[in-house]
Every structure is written in structure tokens, then in C-alpha cells.
Structure 1
Amino acid sequence: MATTCITGQYGPRETMEYDVVVVGGGPAGLATAIRLKQRAAEAGTEISVCVLEKGSELGAHILSGAVMDPRALNELIPDWKERGAPLDVPVTEDRFLFLTETGARAVPDWALPDNFRNHGNYVISLARVTRWLGQQAEGLGVEIFPGFAAAEVLYRDDGSVKGVATGNMGVGKDGEPAGNFQPGMELHAKYTIFCEGARGHLGRQLSERFKLQDGADPQVYGLGIKELWEIDPSKHKPGLVIHTAGWPLDTQTYGGSFLYHIDNNQVMVGFVVGLGYTNPYLSPFEEFQRYKTHPEIRKFLEGGKRVSYGARAITAGGLVSLPKLVFPGGVLAGDDAGFLNVSRIKGSHAAIKTGMLAADAAFDAVCAGRQGDELVAYPQAFRQSWLHTELHKARNFKQWMSKGLVLGTLMVGLEQKLLRGNVPWTLRHRYRDHETLKPASQCVPIEYPRPDGKLTFDRLSSVFLSNTNHEENQPSHLTLTDPSVPIALNLRTYAGPEARFCPAGVYEFVKDAKNEDHLQINAQNCLHCKTCDIKDPSQNIVWVTPEGGGGPNYPNM
């Protein structure tokens, strides 16, 4: 690693040189860094690697169900059990329920498709696993910088990616340096691996610049909302995994739930709503609160205590929505590309595997003296991997389920249970999520019950449990391309959907002194879930990187 100083927008800033820079300290990014160092040790050589993480610490922004398939971890760190990886609760039982408002029908075990079978998997806190992966990476010599958000992609004169710049710290709301100003730093690399998670800010820019989505279906997303509860020990069954479909969503709206029993008398309860829904009155947060009142769910939670809350968008397009993975000087890995297997509701194994494949391609290129070209060995290796086989078998899941619960269930059962995913047809995603909302005049408003403060809650008390915080005197990271659009289009045509699709109460329509409607943006509440960037019907809301270290701070989510 070498350092220099160059002149940036606000004066001199430090520049650091590495062989590989990894953007994002989640499972994909850390697997990339670990694999690079492993390859270097095997070859008896050196490779300089750093990881940038915008959260205040590793795991701070990590939110997932999570039931983890250890297949990729077995490949990355075969002795993970001996090293103390926090995979402590093996799955002991799978249940899948179809819910009506008051009843539930369980799918017999013999009829359960393989994608809902979790024998050999573990109920985990992915935040804890991520912190453990960080320890393994640091032990190998990886430099990790938590609290530093990659805010800008840097390019060489030939147009290839040469690295990233971190955001400036201490810029006031007026855009001018404040008293605590610190300039960002530039990190230059032979190759840059982008692992920002779903709807990555820089990944989106790279996709547009290099037209990475051309030839692929549109990427589609779901919003996952999750709470961690401490429950009555007599109701706790470590390793019990419950998934549901149906109520409270109508049969035409894609979504479902999970309830996972982890250790320490805790359960993880969550709800996923596909962001291709059509009714602008729908609120994913309120649907989640209603779900907890179902008799089959409340029986576990009543008498318990909610201890944490969070939300995050997940990619759901699958294999047909994967973009081109490589471009000059860099690659997309993990959920930045969209590798999550939505039929299994699992992505951490895919993130680790793609990080390893990207690392292998980058290591070989660096050792060959190359830089700035396309790492074509990475997508080639993916196409030959077990992960491609897995995603290929599940490639139609989201498309079928988006056609309605009844038809979707029948066709997924046919494809996954009877035909094992080996079908000659491939369904397509036709629309992006922001294109699917109907005008409010064509939809029926949804009346949601008031929270009781025991089982159901409001947004602000929920955000409090996410430990979310942002430096108040900074420019808003939730930007509007045209400030007139929220009132002129979103409110008048769609009844202000941003006030409902945001799970954190960031967007509010209020009256000003002239009794005129005004959109108030409470950026301090933002969970970095990216839903607004995805679902805003005119794509007028653009999420940009706030100061590093801001946002949620999830301890064990």
C-alpha cells in the first residue's frame, strides 16, 4: 500500500493504493477479502486488500432473516466450527402455513418443496456472523475501515474504474465545510469489487454507465421488515423455522413471512412484501404489524418483549435479472448484483460464493500483472458453479408467485416438487417495481388498526429500537430530482405512497403556513433500506451516501 495526496473539491485529500479495494463489509465483501488473502498465502506472495464499510462497525447495517446454508462457508473456511463461527442453532423443524384471517393450514411435510426444507442449515444472526468473518479477515491482514462510506466511483483516463472516494465528513446542510470538516480519501486499486447489498448506490451508477442491465430482465425487489423478540421460555423451540403465505396480504399481492427460533429464548419474526404491489394505499409496515396478530403467530409473541427492529430491501429477480457482472476495473458481487435465491429466502451463501469467485478472478489478474480490464473469468466461473445450478432451478419462482397466491402455489409446486426445477420454460419480469402502482382513484383505501403497544407498534418507536442516528448538520442523503413531483404527481395521483412504503416514517405530507401540502423528509430516521429509491413511481427520489457511520446500528439482527 502506498499513500499520496491530491487536490479534491475541498482541498488536499489522502490517496491510498491497493491491489484490490472492496466496497461493503457484508458477507460478500468479507468473503472476497478472505479469499484473496488465502490465495496469496497459498502462492507465497503478497496482495494488499482493504474493505470499506459505511456502518459504524461491521454488522451494523446487516439485516437478514436468517437461516443460513453453510455450503459456501464450508468452502471458504472449512474449519469454521473450530474457529467459533456463530452458527449455533441447527434447524430442527420446518413448518409452512397458508394463513387466512383467523385460521391456518399447514403443508404436509411430504408435500414441502426442497426450497423450504432446511435440514443441515442454521438459524443465525447474520450481523454476528459478519462480525466473525471480519475477525477472520483481519487475522489474514485485510485492512478494514468501518465508518467510511464509499461515495464516488473514480475512473482512469481510459474509462476503467480505478477505485472509490469516501465521503467528506463535516459538510453542513448548506453544502459548505463546517468546523469539524474532514475531506474524504481516495482509494485506488487495480480492481474494485462492489458488494454494497441490494440497490447499491454506486452499483446503480455503474449499471447505468456501463449498461450492465442491458439484455437482462428488470431487477425486482421485496421489502423485508424484521423484529427480534424475547419470548416465554415455555414457548421457545430452538431451531423451529416457520414460513407463511396469505393473510394479511390479498391473494394478488406477493409476500410472506418468517418466524425463526434462535437461541437465548429469542425469535426473529419478519415479513416480506414484493415491491411490485399495485395499491398505493398498501403499507408494508402496517401489514407486518397485522400479521403478528394472527393466532398462529401471536401465541409465540404474547407475553414477550420486542428488543430490536429493522428493514431492508432484498433483490428478488433471480437469475433472469442478473446484470452483466463485470466492467473495466471492477465487478458486482453478492446482492449488489442480485444473487439472492428468493425461493429459499436465502442470500448469504450466494454472497459468500460470489465473493470467492470474484476474488479468484481478481487474484489471478493481479498476479498476471493486469489492471483495469474486465475480469471475465468471474462470470465464467459463476456459470459453471453450483450456485448457477441452484438459481437456474429457481428462476421462475418470483414470476409465478407474482401471478397470485393460488396459481403461483400450484405452479411452484409443479416446478419445484414434481419436476425439481428442470423445466424447459423461463418466465420474464416485465415491469420495474416503480411502474406498477395504480392511481389511487382506481384502488380501495386500506384501513389499518391502531397499534396496541404490546404486539403491534408505530414507526417511530420501531425506529428507536434500530439505534438509527445520523449527524444532523449534513446535507440530506434523500434527494429529490424535482421538488415539485411529490405534490404534483405522487400526492395527487397516488395519494402520497412514500408516506406508506417507507418503514421508518421518513416521508410525511404536512400543511405549511399557507395550508398547502408539503413533503417533509425526516432523513434522520432513515434505515438505509432503499425502498424509496426503488418504489417512488417517478424515480424522483434518489438515495445518496450519507456520512459514514450513520444509519442503523443492529446488534444481533
Structure 2
Amino acid sequence: MTQIEREAMEYDVVIVGAGPAGLSAAIRLKQLDADLNVVVLEKGSEVGAHILSGAVLDPVGLNQLIPDWKAKGAPLNVPVTQDNFYMLGQAGQIRIPNAVMPPLMNNHGNYIVSMGNVCRWLAEQAEELGVEIFPGMSCSEVVYGADGEVKGVVAGEFGKNPDGTQGPNYEPGMELHGKYVFLGEGVRGSLSKQVIAKYALDAHSDVQKYGLGMKEIWEIDPEKHRPGTVTHTMGWPLDANAGGGSFIYHLDNNQVYVGFVVHLNYKNPYVFPYMEFQRFKHHPMVAELLKGGKRVAYGARAISEGGYQSLPQLAFPGGALLGCAAGMVNVPRIKGNHNAMLSGIAAAEAACAAIKAGRSADLLEDYETEVRSGLIGRDLRKVRNVKPLWSRYGLAASLSLGGADMWLNTFGIRLGTLKHGKSDALATEPAAKHKQIDYPKPDGKLSFDRLTNVAFSFTNHAESQPAHLQLKDPAIPVAVNLPKFAGPSARYCPAGVYEFVGTGDDMRFQINFQNCVHCKTCDIKDPSQNIVWTVPQGGDGPNYPNM
């Protein structure tokens, strides 16, 4: 095999991912030392193109990073005015009184935002400070130094043929080297996954858990619009099939975010998370809100749900994991952006101090300490038992026992930490143990088929490149996953990427990678762990406008 020769560029800090964690790190580095050379690499076509979040933003991280953010025009325009919690049945709902909810669940002082637009604004602040930001630059490889440390990344490789060979317009990309490399790729990032495995960063942590979050933006009847209203639901339609719930956030311009989360530790391989989301919108409470409106955008992404006990070692030789690359979501609050920003700030402060001391490419132990003992650690420790309680004992126990545990933690009383058990992939049981689920056909008004909705994610992949969804063993989908698990990839993917085509001996597994919205669910939930999500060429994937 011919060794690819690449040019190299040297920086003080290389940051992979222009999300809230990466951009916060870049800004804080330049605030601390304007002479530092900092670069941010983003695989999306622009900053924000691959950002999808609920999102109700706790501004604690932004307050630390840019205290005068209001004066500088940050797009936090809709403060939360009302919190609603409902338990749904098929035909009705019961409201859970706010008074019984632990104080940490209160959204007073938070804002309903588009995190894509928040990141676009953060990128402007970073560039004003001299940060170099390169969108459309997928980071496809980790570059290691002579002592096994992370030295940099390869970015901007283009022009491969579908079989992986170099095409006529092949561009090898560049190596970007840093004294430290921050990985802020988000959930199940491809480079983060490699680094965690290489350095066994998860050797002493619990298994990571995940959910699949799906979201639509709707324009609704102005008479039904209540800016600042936050609604969360649990129960129907998931019931005993899976854990999860919904969110409905009223932002400005007569728009609402309608979202649905399915925990990926469900046992029944016939569960179809996307269709659970579509069915949810036919609940009378939701249908009445959306009636007469129109869906204007759709997207999906995985959510890290393991919490405090699932945090891997955050610092590795030559760099650090930021935000959701490590898993910093507070599951009951459905919030992780604040912790992502705080992690970026902490990593920047640790790296700046190290560089000033003449260090490079070593372990940023101060970052590790700050995350675990500071605001992030305190936030995650309070809710560490809610997810394992839900997984073990179901929704009712999660509400009662989980709620009690959060109240006790609020008063500083800790009763220990529960384990998560199996990975989400191993939680999948053989189809023979379960019954198929009959999902109603989408009506085209409130509910939609996957391919129609994927068009509203504005996803595009050049077909001439290799598929970025790779199989370790091409035989396993038809030989194992179809007969044993009823081919769950045809259902767990929220974008219709995977299909079983043909019958009998002519059955084959088809990957429609052009549809992929980069949610990473396949990499997580495949029961044989046979699908590996890698980055496509830069700029490809969804192009979310206001997610």
C-alpha cells in the first residue's frame, strides 16, 4: 500500500467539532491568551449544519464564557415562562404538579433556543478573537506521535472512489498537529470511539447508555402559540415497549419544537422508534396543537444517557474528550449543552496553563479534576440513579424512586450509585421472544413516512464516495440479524438507511447511505455490533437550518 503524503499545519490546539463544547473551548483559549493558534474543524457544510438539540438552554456555561452575551446579541430570545409535565394515556393525560418535581427540574431562568443558531453566533465570537474555523472538513483519522500520544488529525480528504481507491480528483487532505487535540464530535464520535478504545479510557467506567432523539419543527396556528411554554410527557405510546418521552417547546415566530426520545435499551427488536414518534403526534393533546400547522424541518441524533457513572477518563495523552463525546447529558433535565460548554471552558483553561508551563501532548489532569468535582460533576451526580432505575424497574419506579433519589441528592443525601448493566446492543432480545407491533400508517398531515421526513433534514451525500457506514462482516445482516432479530436495522434507523431487499436465497442487505442523518444509532444499537459509523467527506450529511 502506498503511503499517502500530506502537508502538515501546526497549531497550539486543534479542536474537532464546532458544537457548543468545541467553540467554547476555542473562545476561552483566545480569551486567556490571544497569541495561541487555535483551529476548529467542522464536518458540516457550515457551523450549525449538524447541530440538533431540544433545546432548553441553561445559560450557566454561557454566563461564564461571555458574561455580556445579551449585549452582544446572543440568540437567546425566548425565556421559559411555563413548565408542564404530563403522563399520557392513549386518549388523555394527567398533569404532574410542578410542586412534586425536584428543584433541578425547574426551567426558570432557561431559554428555548436553536442550538444551531447559538453555535453560529459562538463561531462569530470565536472568529472575532482570531480562531480559525474550517467547515466542510471531516476529520477521518487520528495522527499519533512517536510515543503513542495523539499528535493531530487528518482533515479534508476528498475524491475517493466507491471502492475506497483514489479517484481522479483525489485530495489527500492535511494533517493538523496540535500541542493538544480536543475531540468535541458529539455522541459516539468516530475519532472519540477510536481514542477511547486505544487508551482504554472506559476501563473503569460503567457502560455508556443512549437514546434516540427525533425532532420536527412545526409552524402552528398563532392562536395556539404560547412562547416560552415547555412541555414534557411520558407514557403513551411507548408504555412497556421502551423507555422515553417527548418534549414540546414553544419558541418565537409561531414555531414549536416537537421531539421524541426513545431509550435504546429496549428489548423487543420490533420496536420502531420513528413510528412511535409519528404515533405520538396523534395523541389528542398533541394533535390539537398541531392541527392546521405544517412541519418545516426534521432531524435525529443519538443522546448519551449513561451520566456520571459512565463518564470515561476524559484526558488522554495529547488531548481531551469534550461534552457529549464523553457523555455529559443530564437525562431527567434533557440537557447537555450547558455541560458541554462548561467542559470546553475547563479544557481550555487546563491546556492554556499547560502550554504556558512549556508542556505539550501529555495528560491534562486538571481538566479531569474540574469536570468531576466542579459544576458538571455536581450536576450529573444528582441524577445518576434515574436512568438505571428506569431501565430496571420501568416508568413508575423511575417517577417515584428516581424522584425520591433526586430530592435526597438535592439535600446532599446520597444512597450509592446504581449500575446500568448491559449495553444497548446486548439488551436486544431475539425476535422469537416478542410479538410484532402494528404501527398505524402515516396520514401525511400529522405523521409522515421516513423518506418524506428525511427530505426535511436537507440531507445530501455525494454518491461517488465510499459508503461511510461500514460492515465488519457483510454476511451478518442476512445470516444472523434477520433470522434471529427480525432485521432491526430496518426499524431502528430514523432515516430509512437500511433495507432487506429480495426473498429467499436472493435476500440482500442494502445500505442507502445517502439518507443518513448522522444520528449514529446503527453504531450503537446493532445487536451484532457489526455496523461502524465513519465520517463521509466534508460538507455531506444533513443541513439543519434552525435545529
Map of 1:522-533 to 2, 5 A cutoff? 522-533=512-523
Aligned residues: 545
Once the two structures are superposed, residues 149-184 of structure 1 have per-residue CA deviations (whole angstroms, 9 ceiling, x without a partner) of 111000111101100001520111122222332221
What is the aligned partner in structure 1 of residue 223 from structure 2? Answer: 234
What is the aligned partner in structure 2 of residue 381 from structure 1? Answer: 370
Query: CA contact under 8 A between 1:23 and 1:194: conserved in structure 2?
Result: yes
What is the aligned partner in structure 1 of residue 200 from structure 2? Answer: 211
Query: CA contact under 8 A between 1:251 and 1:406: conserved in structure 2?
Result: no
Query: Which residue identity does 1:277 align to in structure 2?
Result: Y
Distance 1:116 1:157 in 2: 48
SS of equivalent residue, structure 1 residue 241: strand
Query: Which residue identity does 1:211 align to in structure 2?
Result: A
Distance 1:54 1:478 in 2: 16
Query: CA contact under 8 A between 1:226 and 1:268: conserved in structure 2?
Result: yes
2:530 paired residue among 512, 529, 540: 540
Distance 1:133 1:158 in 2: 35
2:145 paired residue among 152, 156, 174: 156
Distance 1:277 1:422 in 2: 31
Distance 1:506 1:545 in 2: 15
What is the aligned partner in structure 2 of residue 437 from structure 1? Answer: 428
Q: Does 1:459 pair with 2:450?
A: yes
What is the aligned partner in structure 2 of residue 368 from structure 1? Answer: 357
SS of equivalent residue, structure 1 residue 352: helix
Query: Which residue identity does 1:158 align to in structure 2?
Result: D
Distance 2:105 2:435 in 1: 34
Query: CA contact under 8 A between 2:382 and 2:409: conserved in structure 1?
Result: no
What is the aligned partner in structure 2 of residue 494 from structure 1? Answer: 485
Map of 1:72-91 to 2, 5 A cutoff? 72-91=61-80
1:340, distance to aligned residue in structure 2 (A): 1.0
Query: CA contact under 8 A between 2:138 and 2:157: conserved in structure 1?
Result: no
Distance 1:529 1:235 in 2: 31
Distance 1:494 1:386 in 2: 42
Query: CA contact under 8 A between 2:217 and 2:296: conserved in structure 1?
Result: yes
Once the two structures are superposed, residues 417-460 of structure 1 have per-residue CA deviations (whole angstroms, 9 ceiling, x without a partner) of 35526322211111110000111011010010111000000000
What is the aligned partner in structure 2 of residue 285 from structure 1? Answer: 274
1:13, distance to aligned residue in structure 2 (A): 2.3
Return closer, same or farther for 1:286/1:252 CA change in 2, 3 Å cut-off. Answer: closer
Return closer, same or farther for 1:364/1:551 CA change in 2, 3 Å cut-off. Answer: same
1:515, distance to aligned residue in structure 2 (A): 5.3
Query: Which residue identity does 2:375 align to in structure 1?
Result: W
1:30 paired residue among 23, 30, 54: 23
1:112, distance to aligned residue in structure 2 (A): 2.1
1:9, distance to aligned residue in structure 2 (A): 5.2
Query: CA contact under 8 A between 2:210 and 2:264: conserved in structure 1?
Result: yes
Query: CA contact under 8 A between 1:115 and 1:343: conserved in structure 2?
Result: no
Distance 2:5 2:268 in 1: 50
Query: Which residue identity does 2:13 align to in structure 1?
Result: V
Map of 1:104-143 to 2, 5 A cutoff? 104-143=93-132
SS of equivalent residue, structure 2 residue 435: coil
SS of equivalent residue, structure 2 residue 216: strand
2:181 paired residue among 187, 192, 202: 192
Once the two structures are superposed, residues 483-509 of structure 1 have per-residue CA deviations (whole angstroms, 9 ceiling, x without a partner) of 110011100000000000000000000
Once the two structures are superposed, residues 94-143 of structure 1 have per-residue CA deviations (whole angstroms, 9 ceiling, x without a partner) of 00000011110001121122233100000000000000000000000000
Q: Does 1:417 pair with 2:407?
A: yes
Q: Does 1:325 pair with 2:318?
A: no
Distance 1:384 1:115 in 2: 18
SS of equivalent residue, structure 1 residue 369: coil
Query: Which residue identity does 1:74 align to in structure 2?
Result: N
SS of equivalent residue, structure 1 residue 324: coil
For normalisation by structure 1, the TM-score amounts to: 0.96
For normalisation by structure 2, the TM-score amounts to: 0.98
Query: CA contact under 8 A between 1:10 and 1:183: conserved in structure 2?
Result: no
SS of equivalent residue, structure 1 residue 491: helix
Map of 1:303-318 to 2, 5 A cutoff? 303-318=292-307
1:12, distance to aligned residue in structure 2 (A): 3.6
Query: Which residue identity does 2:11 align to in structure 1?
Result: Y
1:10, distance to aligned residue in structure 2 (A): 6.7
Query: Which residue identity does 1:527 align to in structure 2?
Result: V
Query: CA contact under 8 A between 2:154 and 2:174: conserved in structure 1?
Result: yes
Q: Does 1:518 pair with 2:511?
A: no
Map of 1:253-268 to 2, 5 A cutoff? 253-268=242-257
Query: Which residue identity does 2:452 align to in structure 1?
Result: S
Once the two structures are superposed, residues 71-107 of structure 1 have per-residue CA deviations (whole angstroms, 9 ceiling, x without a partner) of 1100000000000000000000000000011110001
Query: Which residue identity does 2:489 align to in structure 1?
Result: E
Structure 1 stretches of at least 4 aligned residues deviating more than 3 Å after TM superposition: 8-12
**What runs of 5+ residues in structure 2 fail to find an aligned partner?**
none
Distance 1:170 1:346 in 2: 38
1:249, distance to aligned residue in structure 2 (A): 0.5
1:383, distance to aligned residue in structure 2 (A): 2.7
SS of equivalent residue, structure 2 residue 86: strand
Query: CA contact under 8 A between 1:252 and 1:405: conserved in structure 2?
Result: no
Query: Which residue identity does 2:307 align to in structure 1?
Result: G
